[in-house]
Protein backbone atom coordinates (compact mmCIF):
# COMPACT_ATOMS: atom_id res chain seq x y z
CA UNK A 1 0.00 0.00 0.00
CA UNK A 2 1.60 3.26 -1.11
CA UNK A 3 -0.95 5.83 0.03
CA UNK A 4 0.33 8.22 2.69
CA UNK A 5 -2.87 8.09 4.76
CA UNK A 6 -2.68 5.89 7.85
CA UNK A 7 -5.30 3.30 8.70
CA UNK A 8 -6.84 4.09 12.07
CA UNK A 9 -7.01 1.43 14.77
CA UNK A 10 -8.62 -0.68 16.06
CA UNK A 11 -9.28 -2.59 12.85
CA UNK A 12 -11.67 -5.55 12.63
CA UNK A 13 -11.51 -8.13 9.84
CA UNK A 14 -14.71 -10.16 9.58
CA UNK A 15 -13.73 -13.47 7.99
CA UNK A 16 -10.07 -12.84 8.64
CA UNK A 17 -8.99 -16.48 8.41
CA UNK A 18 -10.19 -16.89 4.83
CA UNK A 19 -8.30 -16.36 1.60
CA UNK A 20 -8.85 -12.61 1.19
CA UNK A 21 -9.22 -11.96 4.92
CA UNK A 22 -5.94 -13.57 5.95
CA UNK A 23 -4.16 -11.70 3.16
CA UNK A 24 -5.48 -8.38 4.49
CA UNK A 25 -4.59 -9.35 8.05
CA UNK A 26 -1.01 -10.04 6.97
CA UNK A 27 -0.81 -6.68 5.21
CA UNK A 28 -2.10 -4.88 8.31
CA UNK A 29 0.42 -6.69 10.53
CA UNK A 30 3.19 -5.72 8.09
CA UNK A 31 2.19 -2.08 8.65
CA UNK A 32 2.68 -2.49 12.38
CA UNK A 33 -1.01 -2.79 13.26
CA UNK A 34 -2.60 -5.40 15.51
CA UNK A 35 -5.87 -6.28 13.72
CA UNK A 36 -8.80 -7.96 15.40
CA UNK A 37 -10.01 -11.07 13.55
CA UNK A 38 -13.45 -12.67 13.81
CA UNK A 39 -13.75 -16.18 12.44
CA UNK A 40 -15.91 -19.23 13.08
CA UNK A 41 -14.60 -21.79 15.61
CA UNK A 42 -14.71 -24.40 12.85
CA UNK A 43 -12.67 -22.27 10.45
CA UNK A 44 -9.03 -23.30 10.14
CA UNK A 45 -6.56 -20.62 11.21
CA UNK A 46 -3.73 -22.23 9.27
CA UNK A 47 -3.44 -19.09 7.12
CA UNK A 48 -2.65 -17.09 10.27
CA UNK A 49 -0.64 -19.62 12.27
CA UNK A 50 2.67 -17.76 12.11
CA UNK A 51 1.23 -14.34 13.11
CA UNK A 52 -1.16 -15.35 15.91
CA UNK A 53 0.94 -13.43 18.44
CA UNK A 54 0.44 -10.23 16.42
CA UNK A 55 -3.35 -10.31 16.05
CA UNK A 56 -6.37 -10.37 18.34
CA UNK A 57 -8.33 -13.51 17.49
CA UNK A 58 -12.02 -13.84 18.32
CA UNK A 59 -13.75 -17.14 17.58
CA UNK A 60 -17.48 -16.85 17.03
CA UNK A 61 -20.34 -16.97 14.57
CA UNK A 62 -21.30 -13.98 12.43
CA UNK A 63 -24.93 -14.67 13.36
CA UNK A 64 -24.22 -14.22 17.09
CA UNK A 65 -25.00 -10.65 18.20
CA UNK A 66 -23.11 -11.08 21.45
CA UNK A 67 -19.92 -12.05 19.64
CA UNK A 68 -20.38 -9.19 17.18
CA UNK A 69 -20.69 -6.68 20.00
CA UNK A 70 -17.47 -7.96 21.57
CA UNK A 71 -15.66 -7.89 18.22
CA UNK A 72 -16.94 -4.41 17.33
CA UNK A 73 -16.12 -2.73 20.64
CA UNK A 74 -14.00 0.37 20.07
CA UNK A 75 -13.38 -0.46 16.40
CA UNK A 76 -12.74 2.27 13.86
CA UNK A 77 -12.52 0.33 10.57
CA UNK A 78 -14.30 -2.90 9.62
CA UNK A 79 -13.42 -5.09 6.62
CA UNK A 80 -16.48 -7.20 5.88
CA UNK A 81 -15.29 -10.29 3.99
CA UNK A 82 -17.66 -12.95 5.30
CA UNK A 83 -19.83 -14.95 2.93
CA UNK A 84 -21.41 -18.32 3.69
CA UNK A 85 -22.69 -19.16 0.21
CA UNK A 86 -21.12 -19.51 -3.24
CA UNK A 87 -21.97 -18.38 -6.79
CA UNK A 88 -23.01 -21.86 -7.89
CA UNK A 89 -25.43 -22.43 -5.00
CA UNK A 90 -28.95 -22.84 -6.28
CA UNK A 91 -31.94 -20.66 -5.56
CA UNK A 92 -33.15 -23.11 -2.93
CA UNK A 93 -30.28 -21.90 -0.71
CA UNK A 94 -31.78 -18.40 -0.53
CA UNK A 95 -33.29 -18.97 2.92
CA UNK A 96 -29.94 -19.99 4.36
CA UNK A 97 -28.30 -17.04 2.61
CA UNK A 98 -30.83 -14.67 4.16
CA UNK A 99 -30.22 -16.05 7.66
CA UNK A 100 -26.44 -16.36 7.45
CA UNK A 101 -25.41 -13.39 5.28
CA UNK A 102 -28.03 -10.66 4.89
CA UNK A 103 -29.59 -10.48 8.36
CA UNK A 104 -26.24 -10.71 10.21
CA UNK A 105 -24.87 -7.93 7.99
CA UNK A 106 -27.78 -5.67 8.91
CA UNK A 107 -27.25 -6.47 12.59
CA UNK A 108 -23.51 -5.79 12.16
CA UNK A 109 -24.31 -2.37 10.70
CA UNK A 110 -26.57 -1.56 13.64
CA UNK A 111 -23.92 -2.70 16.12
CA UNK A 112 -21.24 -0.76 14.25
CA UNK A 113 -23.35 2.39 14.40
CA UNK A 114 -24.06 1.91 18.10
CA UNK A 115 -20.42 1.20 18.95
CA UNK A 116 -19.09 4.25 17.11
CA UNK A 117 -17.31 2.53 14.22
CA UNK A 118 -16.47 4.93 11.42
CA UNK A 119 -15.69 2.97 8.24
CA UNK A 120 -17.03 -0.23 6.65
CA UNK A 121 -15.19 -1.72 3.65
CA UNK A 122 -17.21 -4.46 1.96
CA UNK A 123 -15.96 -7.01 -0.58
CA UNK A 124 -18.79 -7.46 -3.05
CA UNK A 125 -18.89 -9.58 -6.20
CA UNK A 126 -18.23 -7.82 -9.48
CA UNK A 127 -18.34 -11.21 -11.13
CA UNK A 128 -22.01 -11.85 -10.35
CA UNK A 129 -23.73 -8.60 -9.44
CA UNK A 130 -24.06 -7.22 -12.99
CA UNK A 131 -25.47 -10.31 -14.69
CA UNK A 132 -24.97 -10.72 -18.45
CA UNK A 133 -23.04 -7.69 -19.72
CA UNK A 134 -24.61 -5.10 -21.97
CA UNK A 135 -21.15 -3.63 -22.60
CA UNK A 136 -17.55 -4.65 -22.01
CA UNK A 137 -15.65 -3.88 -19.92
CA UNK A 138 -18.44 -3.41 -17.37
CA UNK A 139 -18.50 -0.02 -15.58
CA UNK A 140 -20.02 0.62 -12.17
CA UNK A 141 -22.96 2.36 -13.88
CA UNK A 142 -23.99 -0.87 -15.65
CA UNK A 143 -27.49 -2.20 -14.78
CA UNK A 144 -27.47 -4.64 -11.86
CA UNK A 145 -29.29 -7.84 -12.85
CA UNK A 146 -27.74 -10.88 -11.11
CA UNK A 147 -28.46 -14.33 -12.54
CA UNK A 148 -27.64 -16.19 -9.32
CA UNK A 149 -28.99 -16.09 -5.78
CA UNK A 150 -25.42 -15.33 -4.66
CA UNK A 151 -25.26 -12.23 -6.83
CA UNK A 152 -28.72 -11.13 -5.69
CA UNK A 153 -27.60 -11.49 -2.08
CA UNK A 154 -24.52 -9.37 -2.71
CA UNK A 155 -26.68 -6.71 -4.38
CA UNK A 156 -29.13 -6.65 -1.47
CA UNK A 157 -26.28 -6.32 1.02
CA UNK A 158 -24.84 -3.49 -1.06
CA UNK A 159 -28.20 -1.71 -0.92
CA UNK A 160 -28.33 -1.95 2.86
CA UNK A 161 -24.73 -0.77 3.17
CA UNK A 162 -25.48 2.20 0.92
CA UNK A 163 -28.58 3.00 2.97
CA UNK A 164 -26.57 3.09 6.21
CA UNK A 165 -23.90 5.15 4.47
CA UNK A 166 -26.56 7.73 3.51
CA UNK A 167 -28.48 7.84 6.79
CA UNK A 168 -25.89 7.31 9.54
CA UNK A 169 -22.36 8.58 10.28
CA UNK A 170 -20.92 5.31 8.93
CA UNK A 171 -18.65 5.74 5.92
CA UNK A 172 -19.17 2.82 3.54
CA UNK A 173 -16.92 1.68 0.70
CA UNK A 174 -18.02 -1.15 -1.58
CA UNK A 175 -15.46 -2.91 -3.77
CA UNK A 176 -16.83 -5.14 -6.51
CA UNK A 177 -14.08 -7.70 -6.95
CA UNK A 178 -13.59 -9.69 -10.13
CA UNK A 179 -12.00 -13.15 -9.63
CA UNK A 180 -9.23 -13.05 -6.99
CA UNK A 181 -6.60 -15.78 -7.00
CA UNK A 182 -3.28 -16.45 -5.34
CA UNK A 183 -1.46 -18.30 -2.55
CA UNK A 184 -3.57 -19.57 0.37
CA UNK A 185 -6.73 -19.89 -1.73
CA UNK A 186 -8.60 -23.10 -0.98
CA UNK A 187 -7.73 -25.85 -3.52
CA UNK A 188 -10.82 -27.79 -2.46
CA UNK A 189 -13.26 -24.88 -2.66
CA UNK A 190 -16.44 -24.29 -4.64
CA UNK A 191 -14.83 -21.32 -6.37
CA UNK A 192 -11.33 -20.28 -7.36
CA UNK A 193 -10.55 -22.04 -10.65
CA UNK A 194 -6.80 -21.51 -10.49
CA UNK A 195 -6.39 -22.81 -6.94
CA UNK A 196 -8.65 -25.80 -7.54
CA UNK A 197 -6.81 -26.69 -10.76
CA UNK A 198 -3.46 -26.53 -8.98
CA UNK A 199 -4.78 -28.64 -6.14
CA UNK A 200 -5.93 -31.24 -8.65
CA UNK A 201 -2.48 -31.31 -10.23
CA UNK A 202 -0.75 -31.79 -6.90
CA UNK A 203 -3.18 -34.43 -5.62
CA UNK A 204 -3.81 -36.27 -8.89
CA UNK A 205 -7.52 -35.45 -8.77
CA UNK A 206 -9.64 -34.89 -11.89
CA UNK A 207 -10.76 -31.30 -12.48
CA UNK A 208 -14.43 -30.63 -13.16
CA UNK A 209 -14.92 -28.30 -16.14
CA UNK A 210 -18.43 -26.95 -16.58
CA UNK A 211 -19.65 -26.56 -20.15
CA UNK A 212 -17.20 -26.08 -23.01
CA UNK A 213 -14.76 -24.02 -20.97
CA UNK A 214 -15.58 -20.87 -22.93
CA UNK A 215 -16.85 -18.78 -19.99
CA UNK A 216 -14.70 -15.66 -19.71
CA UNK A 217 -13.66 -14.15 -16.39
CA UNK A 218 -11.42 -11.36 -15.14
CA UNK A 219 -8.70 -12.72 -12.84
CA UNK A 220 -6.85 -10.48 -10.37
CA UNK A 221 -3.95 -11.40 -8.10
CA UNK A 222 -4.62 -11.27 -4.37
CA UNK A 223 -1.92 -8.68 -3.59
CA UNK A 224 -3.65 -6.20 -5.90
CA UNK A 225 -7.00 -6.90 -4.21
CA UNK A 226 -5.49 -6.28 -0.78
CA UNK A 227 -3.88 -3.05 -1.97
CA UNK A 228 -7.26 -1.80 -3.21
CA UNK A 229 -9.07 -2.76 0.00
CA UNK A 230 -6.49 -1.00 2.15
CA UNK A 231 -6.60 2.14 0.01
CA UNK A 232 -10.41 2.14 0.15
CA UNK A 233 -10.30 2.23 3.94
CA UNK A 234 -8.64 5.67 3.91
CA UNK A 235 -10.24 7.14 0.77
CA UNK A 236 -13.62 8.81 0.30
CA UNK A 237 -16.56 6.35 0.44
CA UNK A 238 -17.28 4.91 -2.99
CA UNK A 239 -18.45 1.95 -5.08
CA UNK A 240 -15.61 0.64 -7.22
CA UNK A 241 -14.75 -2.26 -9.52
CA UNK A 242 -11.48 -3.95 -8.59
CA UNK A 243 -10.20 -6.02 -11.48
CA UNK A 244 -7.30 -6.77 -13.77
CA UNK A 245 -9.39 -5.52 -16.68
CA UNK A 246 -8.78 -8.39 -19.09
CA UNK A 247 -10.85 -11.50 -19.78
CA UNK A 248 -9.68 -15.09 -20.11
CA UNK A 249 -11.70 -18.20 -20.84
CA UNK A 250 -11.64 -21.23 -18.57
CA UNK A 251 -9.60 -23.10 -21.18
CA UNK A 252 -7.08 -20.26 -21.46
CA UNK A 253 -6.66 -20.25 -17.68
CA UNK A 254 -6.16 -24.02 -17.55
CA UNK A 255 -3.62 -23.84 -20.36
CA UNK A 256 -1.70 -21.22 -18.37
CA UNK A 257 -1.74 -23.44 -15.27
CA UNK A 258 -0.42 -26.34 -17.34
CA UNK A 259 2.33 -24.17 -18.88
CA UNK A 260 3.51 -22.88 -15.53
CA UNK A 261 3.37 -26.26 -13.79
CA UNK A 262 4.66 -28.35 -16.68
CA UNK A 263 1.87 -30.86 -15.96
CA UNK A 264 -1.34 -31.91 -17.68
CA UNK A 265 -4.73 -31.74 -16.02
CA UNK A 266 -7.16 -34.62 -16.09
CA UNK A 267 -10.37 -32.80 -17.05
CA UNK A 268 -13.91 -34.06 -16.58
CA UNK A 269 -16.50 -32.14 -18.58
CA UNK A 270 -19.88 -31.44 -16.96
CA UNK A 271 -22.97 -29.50 -18.06
CA UNK A 272 -23.05 -25.72 -17.69
CA UNK A 273 -24.05 -24.45 -14.25
CA UNK A 274 -27.25 -22.51 -13.83
CA UNK A 275 -26.67 -18.88 -12.86
CA UNK A 276 -23.24 -18.52 -14.49
CA UNK A 277 -22.78 -15.56 -16.83
CA UNK A 278 -20.99 -16.13 -20.13
CA UNK A 279 -18.59 -13.17 -19.89
CA UNK A 280 -17.46 -10.91 -17.09
CA UNK A 281 -14.72 -8.29 -17.50
CA UNK A 282 -14.78 -5.23 -15.24
CA UNK A 283 -13.77 -1.66 -16.06
CA UNK A 284 -11.36 -0.53 -13.32
CA UNK A 285 -10.82 3.05 -14.52
CA UNK A 286 -12.78 4.52 -11.61
CA UNK A 287 -10.66 2.70 -9.01
CA UNK A 288 -7.51 3.88 -10.76
CA UNK A 289 -8.73 7.46 -10.58
CA UNK A 290 -10.33 7.49 -7.13
CA UNK A 291 -7.82 5.32 -5.24
CA UNK A 292 -4.62 6.00 -7.17
CA UNK A 293 -4.55 2.22 -7.56
CA UNK A 294 -3.68 -0.09 -10.45
CA UNK A 295 -3.14 -3.85 -10.70
CA UNK A 296 0.60 -4.52 -10.69
CA UNK A 297 0.81 -8.30 -11.09
CA UNK A 298 0.46 -9.69 -14.62
CA UNK A 299 -1.62 -12.81 -15.11
CA UNK A 300 1.19 -15.23 -16.05
CA UNK A 301 3.37 -13.93 -13.22
CA UNK A 302 0.49 -14.31 -10.76
CA UNK A 303 -0.15 -17.89 -11.84
CA UNK A 304 3.57 -18.68 -11.50
CA UNK A 305 3.70 -17.14 -8.01
CA UNK A 306 0.61 -19.09 -6.99
CA UNK A 307 2.00 -22.39 -8.27
CA UNK A 308 5.30 -21.81 -6.46
CA UNK A 309 3.42 -21.18 -3.21
CA UNK A 310 1.23 -24.26 -3.65
CA UNK A 311 4.23 -26.48 -4.31
CA UNK A 312 6.05 -25.11 -1.26
CA UNK A 313 3.10 -25.52 1.11
The per-residue b/e assignment along 196-217, b for 16 or more CB within 10 angstroms, e otherwise, is: bbbbbbeeebebebeeeeebbb
* Global pTM value: 0.95
Q: What is the mean pLDDT of residues 179-196?
A: 94
The pLDDT of residue 96: 79
The pLDDT of residue 232: 98
Q: What is the mean pLDDT of residues 52-80?
A: 96
Distance CA 49, CA 67 (A): 22
Percent of the chain with pLDDT over 70: 96
- Domain range annotation of the chain: 11-312
Q: pLDDT band at residue 110, thresholds of 50, 70 and 90?
A: very high
pLDDT tens-digit map of 250-263? 999 999 999 999 99
Q: What is the CA 53 to chain-centroid distance, rounded? A: 25
Asked if pLDDT for residue 58 goes beyond 70, the answer is yes
Q: pLDDT band at residue 289, thresholds of 50, 70 and 90?
A: very high
Asked if pLDDT for residue 91 goes beyond 70, the answer is no
Asked if pLDDT for residue 70 goes beyond 90, the answer is yes
* Mean of pLDDT over the chain: 93
219 catalytically annotated: no
The pLDDT of residue 88: 62
Asked if pLDDT for residue 136 goes beyond 50, the answer is yes
Q: pLDDT band at residue 1, thresholds of 50, 70 and 90?
A: very low
90 neighbors 74 (Cβ within 8 angstroms): no
Quickly count: other Cβ atoms within 10 Å of residue 168's Cβ: 13
24 neighbors 1 (Cβ within 8 angstroms): no
Q: What topology does CATH give the domain 11-312?
A: Rossmann fold (3.40.50)
Q: Which of 150, 164, 219, 244 is catalytic?
A: 150
Amino acid sequence: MTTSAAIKEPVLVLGGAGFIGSSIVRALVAQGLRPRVLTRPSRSIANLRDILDRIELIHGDFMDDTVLRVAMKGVHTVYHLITTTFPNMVIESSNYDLLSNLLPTIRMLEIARESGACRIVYASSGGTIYGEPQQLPIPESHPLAPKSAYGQSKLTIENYLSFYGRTTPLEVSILRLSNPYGPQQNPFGNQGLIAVAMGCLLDGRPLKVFGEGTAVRDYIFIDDVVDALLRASVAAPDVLNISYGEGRSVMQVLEAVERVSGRKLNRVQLPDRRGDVSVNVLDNARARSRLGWAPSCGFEDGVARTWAAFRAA
